[in-house]
Amino acid sequence: MLTRPLPLPSERADAARNREILLTTARRLLERRGVDGLTMDAVAREAGLGKGTIFRRFGSRGGLMQALINEIELDFQRQLISGPPPLGPGAAPIDRLVAFGRERIRLITRQGDLIRAAEEPPETRYTSPPRAALHLHLRVLLKQSDFEGDTQVLAFTLLAALDAALVLHEHREANISLDRLANGWEELIRQVVAPVPSGHARPGGEALAEPV
């Protein structure tokens, strides 16, 4: 498990400066116009840089969007690794699972259009490094919570409940409030991860013996 962010390759000062100008401009355009308004021409015009500079730094519009989403995901991972509890270390595993979903839902309601756009390519939707990191984090917390079922499958199932397209639909189209979505996640976690009563069994497992 990562304990600190990986080092990034060094950049020339002017290249690094142009990159930050372009990212700052892209963030500003996203706030004003949304994902559909984030075009290479618009970024170049507002940043006062040539369109070729964007292509050299990011390769394509998709590369620019990926750089933006990487910033968001890296910040989220930092909170998981070293942030305050209950999202970060120091809280009970089940409380960290609850905090994970609550914070992810808040993030999606703020940055969901960008996250959803990053999820859309079918060839990378389930294999991107950020998603793999989230899946691993959930598996670790499930194991630490003494969940006795299949942590790999359950982690995939839990992540599916946090897909950006689904959360945005629930929030925008079904008019479900942020509080209801977050409370629903907590109810799901506490129902699924709660200890199994004696004499009962999880699917695929043996019944637990009654205490003597």
Same domain, 52 and 80: no
The tens digit of pLDDT for each residue in 98-132 reads 999 999 999 999 998 888 877 776 677 788 888 99
Same domain, 87 and 161: yes
Same domain, 82 and 160: yes
CA distances from 46 to 28, 43, 69 (A): 10, 5, 20
Phi, psi of 173, rounded to the nearest 5 degrees: -90, -40
Please report whether residue 117 resides in a domain: yes
What is the extent of the structural domain holding 42? Answer: 15-59
Give the pair of three-digit tokens for residue 24: 């700052």
The tens digit of pLDDT for each residue in 141-167 reads 999 999 999 999 999 999 999 999 999
Please report whether residue 148 resides in a domain: yes
On whether the pTM is more than 0.85, the answer is no
Query: What's the DSSP call for residue 52?
Result: H
Please report whether residue 3 resides in a domain: no
Please report whether residue 205 resides in a domain: no
Same domain, 53 and 83: no
| Identity at 78, one-letter amino acid code | R
Phi, psi of 170, rounded to the nearest 5 degrees: -60, -40
Q: Average pLDDT of the chain?
A: 86
Query: What's the DSSP call for residue 110?
Result: H
Name the domain count of the chain. 2
In the numeric block, the tokens 């079918």 are attached to: 122
Same domain, 22 and 99: no
Please report whether residue 94 resides in a domain: yes
